[in-house]
Structure 1
Amino acid sequence: MFLHVGAPKTGTTYLQDRLFLNRTNLGRHGIKYPTGMREDMFLAAVDLTGIKWPGFVDMAKGEWDALVRRTRLASGTVVLSHELFAVAKPSRIRKAAEDLGPGTELHVVLTARDIGRQLTADWQEGLKMYGSKTFERFLKETVEGDPRTSKQWFWRAQHIPRVLSNWGAIVPPERIHLLVLPHSDADVWDMFSRTIGAEPSWAPKDTDRRNASLGAGEATMLRQLNKRLKRVGLDRETHRSLVLNPIVYDTLSQHAGLPISLPPESYEWANGVAKEWGDWSVAAGIDVVGDVADLLPEPPADDGWLNPDRPGPRAVRDAALDALVGVILEAAQRPDPEARLSRRAVRAARRLARRPGR
C-alpha cells in the first residue's frame, strides 16, 4: 500500500485526478485507487486527521472507516492519496497503521517542490481559505517560527523532516519515498507512477485539473475582499460557496497575472532551510527520487522584485472586475433554491456600503 501524504501544492490535485480518471485501467494492472463513489479522499482525510474543516466535519464522519473497508477488499497494490495526511498527528498516524492492518506493507510517499514556490503558494492558499494576512506578515511569522513545533500550517505540512519523521514512526526509511519535483514539474506523473510500481502509460487519460496559483493583483484583491467580508460577518461556509468556488477557482485562477516570488533578502534564509531538508533526507536513508538540489529556491529575477502586497491599483482593479464577472455568471446559473445565498450576499454588501470609510 502506498499512502501519498502530500505535501500541499506539489501537484497533488493533478495526481489524484489522474489516478481517478484512470482507476479502471490501473486496476487491470493491479493498481487500485479505492475512492468509491467519490472523486477524491478529502473527506476520509478530514475524518482521520480530525481537522475541523468548516462545513465538512459532520459530512466526513465515518469516511475514513469506509475507505479502510474498501482498501481491505482490494487486492494487489493500493494507493491512497490526500495532502491533509501530511499534518496528521502521531496518534492519528498510529490509528491509520492499525486500521490498515499489521499485514500491510505500507509505503509513504511525499512529493516536494522548492521552498520558494511552496512559501508563496501556502500564503495564497491561506487567502483562498478566507485569510487576510499580508505576505510580509506571513513571511515574518514563518521565519520566526520553530519549524518542528510551530502550529503554522506551512511548517506542519511542508517541513519535510517533521512530516516524514512523524510517518517514519510506523514506516521504515526504505519504505519512505521523497519525490523531489524539478522546477518545471514536467515529470510529476512519471516519477509518481514508477514509485508506486506502475508504468506511466497505464494512465493514458491526462487531466488539466490543477490547484492553480494566483497573481499578485488577484491575491491582493482577494485579501482585501476577505477583510471586508469578515467585517460584515460572512461565515466560512458561505465564503466557500460565493467566493472560493466562483471567484477563486473558476475565475481568478484562470487569469493569474503578475507572478509572486520571495523578496531577495529572504533567499539566504530559504536556501538554508532547503539545504537542511536535503541533508536530512540523505542522512535519514529514505528513498529520494529526484535531486534534493531542486528544493532550493530559484534565484531572484534580474528585473527586480514585485511586492505582492503592493501590485499596483490597475492589477487589483482588473482582478476585481474579473471577480465581479465570475459572480454574475455564477448567479445567472444558480437555480431558485440557491437564491437565498444571493440575498445574503446582497444584504452583506449593503451593510458594507453603509460603513464609513468604505
Structure 2
Amino acid sequence: MADVVHLHVGAPKTGTTYLQDRLALNRGSLEDHGVAYPIGLKADMFGAALDLIDLPWGGQREAVRGDWESLMGRVRRAPGRAIISHEILAGAKPKQVEKAMRDLAETEMHLVFSARDLARQIPAEWQETVKHRRVHTFRRFLGQVMESPRRNPRMWFWRAQSLPDVLTRWSSGLSPDRVHLVTVPQSRAGGTLWTRYCEALELDPAWLTEDSERANVSVGIDETIMLRRLNRRLRAADLDSESYRAIVRELVVHQRLALREDKRKVTLPPSAFDWAEEVAEEWMEWVRGSGIHVVGDLEDLRPRRPDPDASWEDPDKPRQGKVGDATMDALVTVIMELAERPDPDQGPVSRLARAARRLRGDTP
C-alpha cells in the first residue's frame, strides 16, 4: 500500500479536468519522483469514482462496476505516494465515504477539496446539468439551489458543493493538518490555481512540465437555450445516452458551441448576491474554526459583485438570432461528422437515423 495518499474529492467546476489531465500526461515523471497517479488503462478515475458513489449517471453505472476495487488494487501496489482525484467523489454519501476510508486506512491519508465562489459555481453547474440532458430554466435551478437544505443535502448541487458538508463527511477521523482546502482564485491569470494544487498535493511544479489543453468548457446563454430545446426533442426521439454523450455533449457542445465567439455569459442575478455572500460568510467562518490547511485566499470564496451600472442578461431570455446561429452551427457540425462516416450501419450514425425517424413519427 502507498505510504501516503492524497485524495482529491472535488468540487466539480474547480479546474479538475485540467488538473487530472496534467497529472496523467506527466505520470512517468511523477513516478520518477515516487508519486503514483494510478489511472490504469483509462484516461481518468471517473469510473472508479462512479463505482464508489453508485449512481446511474446516464446509463454508465454497470460499465464501471468493480472499477473502485481495481483502483484500490493499484494504490496497494504503489510504492511511496499516490494521488486519487475525481470531482464526483464530493457527492459521496456517508456510507460510501466510510468504505473509501476503510480501503485507505493503512495509509497516511490527506484530503484535498477545491472550492469556488457561488456566483461562478451556480451558473457553471446549471450549464453542466443541461449538458447532461436536463431542460430546466436557470430561474428554476437557482430557486432550487437557494431553497434546498445545505446540511445533509439531497440535492446533488449541495452534496458536491457545500463546503462544510463535504468536508465534514470526508474528513472524519483526520487531523486538521491533513485536510487541505484549495480556493479557486477570482482571476485565471498566472497559473495561480495550478500552483495551489501543486502545494496541496505536495508536488514540485517542475515535475509536471507537460501542459494540458483540456478544460471542462462552458457555453453562453443562447447556446444553452438551444441545447435545452434540443434536449426536449431528443427526449421525444429517445436517443440513447451513449449517442448523446458522443454526438451532443462532445461533438456539438465541447467541440463547436463552446468555441463560438461573442457568447453571452451566464451570471448570477444581482438580487441573489446578498444570499450568496451570506453562504460565503458561513463557509469562511466554518473554515476558520476548523483549523484546516487553506491553500490560497479565503476571500476567493466571496462572490465578486458586478458593476452596479451593468445590466444583467437573463439566461432564460434568448436572442432568437443568436439561438438560430448556434442551431445552424450545431447542425453543420453534425452533418460534417456524418459526411465522414459514409456507412449508415455503423455506430452512432445509425442510432441517430433511427432517432430521427422516431421523431418524425415513422415506424421503426
**If the TM-score is normalised by the length of the shorter chain, which range does it land in?**
over 0.9
Q: Which residue of structure 2 aligns with residue 39 of structure 1?
A: 43
Taking only the aligned residue pairs, the percentage that are identical comes to 45
1:308 aligns with 2:311: no
Deviates more, 1:345-354 or 1:64-73: 345-354
The Cα shift of 1:62 comes to: 1.2
Q: CA RMSD in A?
A: 1.8
Tell me the TM-score normalized by structure 1: 0.94
Q: Which residue of structure 2 aligns with residue 192 of structure 1?
A: 197
Residue by residue over 1:184-239, the C-alpha shift from the partner in whole angstroms, topping out at 9 and shown as x without a partner, is 23312111112222111110011110001111111111011111211233333332
Question: CA distance change for structure 1 residues 264 and 18 in 2, over 3 Å: closer, same or farther?
Answer: same
Q: What secondary structure does 1:106 align onto?
A: strand
1:230 alignment partner, one of 210, 218, 235: 235
Q: How does 1:1-358 map to 2 (within 5 A)?
A: 1-100=5-104, 102-185=105-188, 186-255=191-260, 257-301=263-307, 302-334=309-341, 336=343, 339=346, 341-353=348-360
Say whether the 8 Å CA contact 2:344–2:350 is kept in structure 1: no
Q: What secondary structure does 2:111 align onto?
A: strand
The Cα shift of 1:173 comes to: 2.1
Distance in 1 separating the partners of 2:214 and 2:342:
26
Which amino acid in the other structure matches residue 142 of structure 2?
L
Residue by residue over 1:261-301, the C-alpha shift from the partner in whole angstroms, topping out at 9 and shown as x without a partner, is 00110111111111111111111111111111111112124
Deviates more, 1:208-217 or 1:45-54: 45-54
Say whether the 8 Å CA contact 1:234–1:348 is kept in structure 2: yes
Distance in 1 separating the partners of 2:41 and 2:238:
35
Q: Which runs of 5+ in 2 are unaligned?
A: none
Which amino acid in the other structure matches residue 267 of structure 2?
S
Residue by residue over 1:231-254, the C-alpha shift from the partner in whole angstroms, topping out at 9 and shown as x without a partner, is 233333332232112111211122
Question: CA distance change for structure 1 residues 337 and 188 in 2, over 3 Å: closer, same or farther?
Answer: farther
Say whether the 8 Å CA contact 1:31–1:78 is kept in structure 2: yes
Say whether the 8 Å CA contact 1:130–1:236 is kept in structure 2: no
The Cα shift of 1:331 comes to: 1.6
Distance in 2 separating the partners of 1:153 and 1:60:
20
Question: CA distance change for structure 1 residues 144 and 338 in 2, over 3 Å: closer, same or farther?
Answer: farther
The Cα shift of 1:351 comes to: 4.5
Q: What secondary structure does 2:149 align onto?
A: coil
Distance in 2 separating the partners of 1:352 and 1:56:
25
Distance in 2 separating the partners of 1:322 and 1:170:
52
Deviates more, 1:81-90 or 1:241-250: 241-250
Which amino acid in the other structure matches residue 70 of structure 1?
R
Q: Which runs of 5+ in 1 are unaligned?
A: none
Say whether the 8 Å CA contact 2:7–2:85 is kept in structure 1: yes
Q: What secondary structure does 1:2 align onto?
A: strand
Deviates more, 1:247-256 or 1:173-182: 247-256
Report the number of matched residues. Answer: 354
